[in-house]
Chain A
């Protein structure tokens, strides 16, 4: 079984540019999450999809961030325009859902905004 895959693994962009991160969850996992870890701090929740619907987007920092999951398969997270404080590692995770179902994480995309 293939795990959660994220692309790209690294991205370096200038302030004001746009970046799109992609996540392919484990096949059959309806639940898809985005998390972010900034400067070695805690891993913070961004949002949660159930299939193609946004279940919870309370962690999205502002309207410069846009997440989509068209068709309920892969997801993209776009940052436009990027700011310096957006630098960090963005993790995607998926799960089958239901109580007790652990999240399976991808290796993350390290975003550096200069």
Chain B
């Protein structure tokens, strides 16, 4: 039973354009959501988070949107840069406990 789903295994975007990565969850008890970025042979690196009391959080080029009624969140990267090419994991938790991860979306930013 996968509680966090990333239905797009890969995404290709041109440099300078917007990248939109999507994530759906099924557990309505989740109250904290995060995005992690992972390069090959490295561990996931924390990128940005959002609590369930908000619907948007922005940090530089990265914005996370949360739609609780749809149990959906998305990560927007604008403008996309070649260094953004990585695997992006969506994760969710209840009351700051263990994280439940999605399967990841591989983003390729092309020149």
Contacts and interface: CB of A to CB of B under 8 A. Distances in A.
A101 B4 CA distance: 20
Contacts, number: 56
B69 interface: no
A107 B43 contact: yes
Interface string B29-68: 0001010100001111110010100000000000000000
A42 B95 contact: no
Interface size class of A (residues with CB under 8 A): 20 to 34
A100 B98 contact: no
A4 B44 CA distance: 11
B101 A44 contact: yes
Interface string A7-44: 00000000000000000000000000101000011111
Given A42-B102, A43-B89, A93-B43, 10 more contacts: A35-B101, A41-B103, A45-B98, A45-B100, A48-B97, A100-B96, A101-B96, A103-B46, A105-B44, A106-B43
